[in-house]
Structure 1
Amino acid sequence: MNTVTNPVIALVLPCYNEEQILPLTARKLASELQRLVDSGLVSAQSKIVFVDDGSCDSTWSLIEQLSAGDSVFAGIKLARNYGHQYALYAGLMETEADALISLDADLQDDVAVIEKMVTSFRAGSEIVYGVRNNRESDTRFKRYTAAAHYWLLSKMGIETVPDHADFRLMSRRAVNFLGEYREANLYLRGIVPLLGLRSDKVYFSRGVRLAGESKYPFRRMLSLSLQGLTSFSIVPLRIISVLGMIVFFIALGLGGWALAATLFGPGTVPGWASTVIPIYLLGGLQLLAIGVAGEYVGKTFIESKGRPLYQVEERLGVERAD
Structure 2
Amino acid sequence: MISIVSPVYRAEKILPKLVREINTMMQKLNTDYEIILVDDRSPDNSWEVMKNLAGFHPALKIYRLSRNFGQHAAIMAGLSKATGEWIVVMDCDLQDQPKEIEKLYLKALEGYDIVQASRVQRKDGQLKKLSSRVFYKIFNYLAGIKINNEVANFGIYHKKVIRQVLNVNDYIKFFPLFINWVGYRATTVDVDHQERDEGKSSYSLGKLISLAFNVIVSFSDKPLKLFVNLGATISLISFLGGAWVFIKTLRGEISEPGYSSLILSIWFLFGVTFMCLGILGVYLGKTFNQTKNRPVYIIDEE
Indicate the TM-score class for this superposition, using the shorter chain for normalisation: 0.7 to 0.9
Q: Unpaired segments of 5 or more residues in structure 2? A: none
Alignment partner, residue 8 of structure 2: 15
Q: 1:302 to 1:157 in 2, by over 3 A?
A: closer
**Distance in 2 separating the partners of 1:295 and 1:206:** 40
Of all paired residues, the percent bearing the same amino acid is 27
Task: Decide whether the 8 Å contact of 2:63 with 2:299 is kept in 1.
Answer: yes
Matched, 1:122 2:119: no
Q: Unpaired segments of 5 or more residues in structure 1? A: 1-7, 316-322
Q: 1:204 to 1:64 in 2, by over 3 A?
A: same
Task: Decide whether the 8 Å contact of 1:230 with 1:295 is kept in 2.
Answer: no
Q: Which amino acid aligns with 1:208?
A: E
Alignment partner, residue 113 of structure 1: 100
Matched, 1:56 2:56: no
**Distance in 2 separating the partners of 1:206 and 1:52:** 23
State the shift of 1:200 in Å.
Answer: 2.1
**Distance in 1 separating the partners of 2:276 and 2:54:** 51
Q: 1:232 to 1:108 in 2, by over 3 A?
A: same
**Distance in 1 separating the partners of 2:114 and 2:271:** 44
Alignment partner, residue 34 of structure 1: 24
Q: Normalising by structure 1, what TM-score?
A: 0.79
Q: Which amino acid aligns with 1:27?
A: K
Q: Which amino acid aligns with 1:9?
A: I
Higher mean C-alpha deviation, range 282-291 or range 94-103: 282-291
Q: Which amino acid aligns with 1:149?
A: F
Q: Size of the alignment, in residue pairs?
A: 301
**Distance in 2 separating the partners of 1:148 and 1:132:** 17
Equivalent position SS for 2:13: helix
State the shift of 1:87 in Å.
Answer: 0.8
Task: Decide whether the 8 Å contact of 2:153 with 2:176 is kept in 1.
Answer: yes
Which runs of structure 2 are paired with 1:31-180 in the superposition (5 Å)? 31-37=21-27, 39=28, 41-43=29-31, 45-135=32-122, 137-139=124-126, 141-155=127-141, 156-180=143-167
State the shift of 1:271 in Å.
Answer: 5.5
**Distance in 2 separating the partners of 1:282 and 1:115:** 62
**Distance in 2 separating the partners of 1:75 and 1:175:** 19
Q: 1:255 to 1:134 in 2, by over 3 A?
A: farther
Q: 1:23 to 1:122 in 2, by over 3 A?
A: farther
Which runs of structure 2 are paired with 1:237-316 in the superposition (5 Å)? 237-264=224-251, 267=254, 272-274=259-261, 276-277=263-264, 283=270, 297=284, 300-301=287-288, 303-315=290-302
Task: Decide whether the 8 Å contact of 1:108 with 1:208 is kept in 2.
Answer: yes
Q: Which amino acid aligns with 1:14?
A: P
State the shift of 1:76 in Å.
Answer: 0.7
**Distance in 1 separating the partners of 2:123 and 2:258:** 57
Q: 1:302 to 1:280 in 2, by over 3 A?
A: same
Alignment partner, residue 318 of structure 1: none
Equivalent position SS for 2:17: helix
Alignment partner, residue 4 of structure 1: none
Equivalent position SS for 2:295: coil
Matched, 1:24 2:14: yes
**Distance in 1 separating the partners of 2:212 and 2:282:** 13
State the shift of 1:51 in Å.
Answer: 0.4
Matched, 1:229 2:216: yes
Q: 1:282 to 1:201 in 2, by over 3 A?
A: farther
Higher mean C-alpha deviation, range 233-242 or range 102-111: 233-242
Task: Decide whether the 8 Å contact of 2:3 with 2:34 is kept in 1.
Answer: yes
The one-character-per-residue Cα deviations of 1:5-52 (angstroms, maximum 9, x if unpaired) are xxx222211123x1xx43334314422431441x3x242x42322101
State the shift of 1:302 in Å.
Answer: 5.6
**Distance in 2 separating the partners of 1:212 and 1:285:** 52
Q: Normalising by structure 2, what TM-score?
A: 0.84
Q: Which amino acid aligns with 2:24?
A: Q
| Candidates 194, 198, 215, aligned match of 1:207 | 194
State the shift of 1:169 in Å.
Answer: 1.2
Q: Which amino acid aligns with 2:98?
A: V
Equivalent position SS for 1:239: helix
Q: 1:72 to 1:313 in 2, by over 3 A?
A: same
The one-character-per-residue Cα deviations of 1:190-227 (angstroms, maximum 9, x if unpaired) are 22123332222112353332433322222222233233
Q: 1:153 to 1:285 in 2, by over 3 A?
A: farther
Task: Decide whether the 8 Å contact of 1:158 with 1:232 is kept in 2.
Answer: no
Q: Which amino acid aligns with 1:131?
A: S
